[in-house]
Amino acid sequence: MDLFDFAEQQAQQTERERYDELCRIINRNNELYYAKAQPEITDAEYDALYRELEQIEASHPDFVTPSSPTQRVGNDLTEGFRKITHPRPMLSIDDIFEHKPDKGETDAELIEFYTRLSSALGQTEPQVVIEPKIDGCAVTLMYRDGKLEYAATRGDGRTGDDITANISTIAAIPQQLPAGAPSVLEVRGEVYMPAADFDKLNEQRDAAGLPAFANPRNATAGSIKLLDTAEVATRPLAFLAHGLGMYEGAPLHTAEDFTQLLKDMGIPCNSPIIRAEGIEAVRQAVKDIDTLRRSLGYGTDGAVIKVADFARRESLGTTARAPRWAAAFKYLPEQKETILRAITIQVGRTGVLTPVAELEPVQLSGTTVSRATLHNQDEIERKDIRIGDTVLVEKSGEIIPSIVHVNKDKRPANAAPYSLFEAVGGVCPSCGEPISQEDGQVAWRCTNFTCTAQAAMRTTYFCKREALDVENLGGTVAEALVKNGYISTPLDLFKLSVEQLGALNLGTDDEVRRFGEKNATKALEALNRARALPLDRWLTAFGISSIGVTTSREVATYHRDLQQLAHSEYLSTLIRLEEDVNLYNTLNPKSRGNKGADKEALELQRRELKAAMEQQAEPYEKRGFLSLLPDGNNKLKLSNPLGSVSTRKLQAWFDSGAGQQVMSTLNELGINPISASYSETATASNGPLAGLTFVLTGALSRPRPEFERMITEAGGKATGSVTKKTSYLVAGEGGGSKRDKAVKLNVPIIDEETLLTLLKGEQA
C-alpha cells in the first residue's frame, strides 16, 4: 500500500463514520417525528441531513443497506393499536428542493426531475398535475361496498395502526358513501389541523396547565394516536385526500378521474390541482401553488408533482420507499434581515406571557412584517436574541413570522442579554400579580384568577361541565361579556341580571345578534344552582395551577368547606413536615455529607426533631390524613396524599392577593362551597372501593374522568402511575408501559367490566 492508497482509505473511513453518524441521527429523528410527534430539529435541518446522506450514498453505493433511512418509510407504529396490513404498500415521496438564487436556477432540481420523467416515459412533455403538499399525517381510508371498513396510519409502509375510532370523529369523512360507490376504494390522504383551530387548541391547553403543541403537525400526530376517542373528538382535525390505494370499480385513467370520483363520493380532496404539460408550464404551476397556498389556512411546505396518467404511473413503478412518478418540491422560506427595536410582553387569554419582537418593518412573502413571536425565555436564550440585534426573519410555514438567527457581527456593543422576568419586574403587566414558571414548563405565566387579560378564557373554564356546568356562558359569550365590559372576572357572572345578559350582542355593530332573554334565564338559573355545587367543583372552576379534577376531589376529602381550605392548617402542616423530614434526613450521621461531624449531637437533633414532627403529625395520622414512616434506611418519609406540588400551589394561591380577592368576593356573594366527601377518616369508609387505589390505562369505553369520578365517589382513589400500593390496574385495549409495570409489581390487572362489578360492591 503506498501513501496515496493509505490516504484514500483514511478518507473513506472518515466518510463511513459520518455516514453511520447520519444514519443514527436521522433514525432517531424519524422516531421522534413519526412515532412520538416530538421533533427536536426543524424540517429544514432534517432535510439538510437527509440530503447529505443521499450524497454520501451516491458516492458510496456499497454503504447502502435495507436499513438505511433512504430505503425505508418513516415508522409511526405505536403500542396500544391493532395492526393492519396495507393491501398495497403505503410509500413516502421523494423531496426535491428550491435553492437560493446565488446557486443558479432556484428550481434546478425540479427541472432535473421533469427531465428524468420525460426520458423514462419517452415523451418530450409528459403531462403532470401539481398540488399543495399538506403538512399533516398520512392515513388511509378503506371503503368496501361503500362503507368505511377501517382507517390506518402509514406505519412502516406495509403495516399501520388501526385508528378507525379516532378518524370517525372527523365529521367531513363519510362513514357511508352514496349509491354507485366502487366495491373497493382505498383513499389515501392527510389528516391535518387548520391554523386558526390549532391556535385555539393551544389556548385551551394553556388554560388547563398543559404544554402547548409546537406546531399543527405535532398536534395532529399526537391527536390521532390518543387512546381516548372522546378526547380525540375535541381536537379540530380535518382531512384531505390526495392518493389512491387498492381499487375495484369503474376504470380511472387520470388524476382528474380520481378527483371527480372523490367529489362524487363526498370525500374532501386536495385543492388546487393544476395540470401542466412542458417544463415551463410546470415551473409556472409550482410558482402559482406557492402563491395560492398562503391563503389555504393550513400548513403546507411544498408542491407535489405527479404524472397525470395512471397507466404511465404503473409503468414507472416505485423504489423501496417512494414512487418514481412523483416528487415533492420543497419551497425555500423567504428570509430578510432587519433590526429588533424592542421586545414587548403580551399576556395571553390563558395567562402565558409571550415576548414579541418589535422589528424595523420589512417586506416578507408579500406582507409587511413588523413583529415576530419569540415564544418564550428559553427560545430567546437559545438564539441569544438581544434588543438592537440585526436578525434574520422568515415566515414559518408562510404564516407566522419568526426569527431564524442573529447576525452577531452587527451586534451593538451595549446589547445586553434579555430577561423576561426582569423586564416585567416579576409581575403580570396586566394585573400586577406575581408571575411564575411551572415545573417542567418554559413559559412564564400569570395565574391570577382575576386577571383582566384572562377574563374570557377563565370564564369559559369556570363554566365547563366538570367545573360549574353553567349553560351557554363559555366561548363566544364569555368573550362578548368581557368585550362589552359586563365582566372583568368570572365571579362577576353572579352580578348579572336577565336584562343585561339578554341584551348582550354576540354579533357586530352591523349585524346585531342578541343573547336573548330565554338563554339569559337558563344561564342565571344554572349560576344559581352552581352556588350549591360541592367544594371539588369550585376548586376545579378556579383553574389553580396543578389542581385538576382528580386533585380537587382529593383536596375536598380533607377539608370541610372552602373557608376551612383557605386557612388550612392541614396544608401548612404538610409543608412544615416536608421541610422537617428533609432536614431530619440530612442530619443522618451515616450520610457522606456528615462525615467527621459529631454523631451524638446529630442524633440528639434528630430525636428532638422527630419528636416535634410526631407531635405535629399525630392528629392527622389518627384521621388517616397523612403518614410519617421510616423508610428502612435510617430515614423518614412523609406520605402526602395531595402531593408536594399541589399542596404548595394551593396554599400559595389562597395566600396570594388574587386568592384573597376571590375569597372576599365569594363572602360578599354568600358562597361557601361545602365538601361532599369530607370525613374524619378522609375516605368514604362505607364505599365499596374504600381503601383501594386504581390506575386506568388503554382504550376504555368511556372518558377516563368519568371512571375516575365513579371510583372516587365509591371511596377509592384514581392515580396516574402504577406503584406497589396500587390495588388494581384497569386496562382497556393497549396499556403499554403501565401494563408492563403492573405485571412486574404483581399488581392485579382487570378490565372495565370487572371494575363495574367492584363498584356495585360485588366480588370480582
The residues carrying an active-site annotation are 133
DSSP 57-106: HHH-GGG--TTSGGGSPPP---TTS-EEE-SS------EEE---GGGS-T
Could you tell me which residues are beta bridge partners of residue 396?
A: 400
Distance CA 702, CA 704 (A): 6
Distance CA 639, CA 629 (A): 8
Q: Which residue, 568, 558, 731, is CA-closest to 653?
A: 568
Residues 466 and 540: beta-carbon distance below 8 Å: yes
Distance CA 99, CA 79 (A): 40
Surface-to-core class of residue 168, CB atoms within 10 Å of its CB (0-12 exposed, 13-18 middle, 19+ buried): middle
3-state secondary structure of 288: helix
Please state at what angle helix 195-207 crosses helix 216-224, rounded to 10 degrees: 70
Distance CA 754, CA 762 (A): 9
β-pairing, 636-639 with 627-630?
antiparallel
3-state secondary structure of 645: helix
Placement of cell 381510508 in the chain: 141
Residue 178 carries which DSSP code?
A: P
Residues 196 and 302: beta-carbon distance below 8 Å: no
**Residue positions counted in the chain:** 764
Q: Could you give the angle at the alpha carbon of 300 between the alpha carbons of 299 and 306, nearest 5°?
A: 150
Residue 183 carries which DSSP code?
A: S
Tally of CB atoms within 10 A around 667: 12
Placement of cell 341584551 in the chain: 503
3-state secondary structure of 406: strand
Q: Could you give the angle at the alpha carbon of 371 between the alpha carbons of 370 and 372, nearest 5°?
A: 135
The sign of the torsion formed by the CA atoms of 577, 579, 580, 582 equals positive
Q: Which residue, 723, 727, 753, 725, is CA-closest to 738?
A: 723
Q: Which residue, 189, 190, 319, 191, is CA-closest to 243?
A: 189
Tally of CB atoms within 10 A around 239: 23
Distance CA 443, CA 760 (A): 45
